[in-house]
């Protein structure tokens, strides 16, 4: 939409963006209650996810437009407008979000229940990490679903219960954690050729380059195709991983890999990178005449800043997880697809009080509530 709330140009109605919008609205509704909750539920129940579902493939179309255009030539069921020829046919967090929201909306629809299992789950490898990988290895494709769904407490999914006996179950929290660690290791391994990268500067993901061009395929191994990268580094990617790379409830903040990246960006790149909304979208370090030269974009991108902020809060308090997952329809969908979901895990999350302007020591971290149960990643 444009600034006036109207359609911008010939932009599409995106299933991924709708899923993000609905998930955010439901979270706000659960938090504020009252009229906000009523409006959020009205929005949620008004989305016809089945409209976008290809009955032959069991996959969701990417988007819809009112006019026929390049890439939009599939006639929908009501013969109004055109669906995209592209479908969500590979594992990404967008399709996890879409499939689970659709099931929460329509739990009695067997095709929608099976949609979580209708795309190939191909294992690929980088170094010691085995991952059900996305097609370009861009880190955001593993992250955005975790903003809302607390996959750490959900365990593995259950394709057999949906009638998909040939599909292997996946624990999406552990899969994403491995993808993050592989992405970081890949960046470290490329650091000789690309001085932007290193142990505290990593997270190859979609972003705008410092020169203003969009780099949506910025990614790391493992991936379906050889990864594309040029030294462009978006800070939001590593920062957004903070709750996903926490290895124990007693982890000192300084040992968290995502926080180490945040501290590095703040300490070493503040003047060029920081602005009113925190770190900007990307930077790049290159060698010129045997000197290192750093360039920064002046751009903020809402879809990048949003996960960054929300995942920091999930690290501190799991606020977004707790309120989104408290919606009864969301909880019912989770229980259908994830039979080992255990609500006691992370019931009393650690609350971390810190301010990056005054980098904290360990004494500023409030420990996990005594006696609380907490899941620990291996």
Domains of the chain, earliest start first? 13-364 (1.50.10.140)
Residue-wise pLDDT for 103-150, tens only, equals 999 999 999 999 999 999 999 999 999 999 998 999 999 999 999 999
- Extract the tokens encoding 245: 């790379």
pLDDT of residue 352: 45
Instruction: Name the nearest CA neighbour of 360 among 274, 232, 296, 266.
Output: 266
pLDDT of residue 2: 81
pLDDT of residue 345: 56
Q: Where are the alpha helices (DSSP H) in the chain?
A: 15-32, 34-46, 93-105, 110-114, 140-148, 151-154, 172-189, 235-239, 257-273, 302-316, 319-324, 328-337
pLDDT of residue 4: 87
What 3-state class would DSSP assign to 135? coil
Q: Quote the CA–CA distance of 75 and 53 in Å, as a whole number.
A: 12
pLDDT of residue 351: 44
**What's the Cα-to-Cα distance from 105 to each of 45, 101, 178, 342, 357, rounded to whole Å?**
6, 6, 31, 22, 42
pLDDT of residue 249: 80
Q: Sign of the C-alpha dihedral, residues 289, 207, 301, 195?
A: negative
Strand-pair partners of 207: 215
Q: Is the pTM of this model over 0.85?
A: yes
Instruction: Name the nearest CA neighbour of 139 among 88, 202, 76, 57.
Output: 202
Q: Sign of the C-alpha dihedral, residues 58, 64, 70, 76?
A: positive
Question: Angle at the Cα of 87 (from 84 to 91), degrees rounded to 5?
Answer: 150
Residue-wise pLDDT for 23-36, tens only, equals 999 999 999 999 99
Question: Angle at the Cα of 148 (from 145 to 150), degrees rounded to 5?
Answer: 90
- Residue pointed to by tokens 């500023």: 364
Low-confidence stretches of the chain (pLDDT < 50) are 348-378
């Amino acid at each position: 939409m444009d600034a006036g709330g109207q359609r911008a140009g010939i932009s599409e109605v995106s299933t991924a963006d709708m899923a993000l919008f609905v998930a955010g609205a439901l979270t706000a509704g659960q938090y504020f209650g009252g009229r906000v909750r009523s409006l959020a539920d009205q929005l949620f129940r008004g989305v016809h996810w089945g409209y976008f579902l290809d009955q032959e493939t069991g996959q969701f179309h990417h988007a819809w437009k009112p006019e026929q255009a390049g890439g939009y030539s599939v006639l929908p069921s009501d013969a109004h407008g055109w669906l995209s020829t592209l479908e969500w046919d590979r594992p990404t967090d967008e399709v996890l979000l879409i499939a689970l929201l659709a099931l929460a909306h329509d739990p009695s629809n067997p095709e929608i229940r099976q949609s979580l299992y209708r795309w190939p789950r191909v294992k690929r490898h980088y170094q010691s990490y085995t991952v059900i990988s996305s097609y370009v290895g861009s880190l955001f494709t593993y992250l955005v679903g975790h903003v809302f769904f607390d996959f750490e407490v959900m365990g593995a999914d259950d394709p057999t219960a949906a009638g998909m006996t040939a599909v292997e179950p996946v624990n999406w929290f552990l899969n994403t954690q491995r993808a993050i660690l592989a992405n970081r290791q890949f960046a470290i391994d490329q650091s000789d050729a690309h001085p932007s990268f290193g142990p505290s500067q990593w997270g190859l993901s979609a972003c705008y380059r410092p020169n203003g061009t969009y780099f949506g395929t910025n990614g790391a191994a493992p991936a379906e195709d050889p990864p594309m990268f040029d030294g462009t580094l978006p800070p939001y990617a590593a920062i957004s991983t903070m709750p996903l790379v926490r290895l124990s409830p007693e982890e000192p903040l300084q040992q968290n890999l995502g926080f180490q990246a945040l501290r590095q960006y703040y300490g070493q790149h503040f003047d060029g990178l920081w602005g009113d909304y925190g770190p900007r979208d990307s930077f790049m370090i290159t060698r010129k005449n045997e000197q290192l030269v750093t360039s920064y974009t002046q751009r903020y991108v809402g879809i990048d800043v949003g996960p960054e902020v929300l995942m920091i809060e999930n690290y501190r308090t799991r606020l977004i997880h707790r309120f989104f997952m408290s919606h009864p329809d969301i909880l019912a969908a989770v229980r259908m697809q994830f039979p080992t979901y255990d609500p006691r895990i992370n019931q009393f999350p650690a609350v971390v009080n810190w301010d990056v302007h005054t980098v904290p020591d360990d004494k500023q971290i409030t420990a996990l509530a005594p006696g609380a149960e907490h899941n620990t990643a291996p």
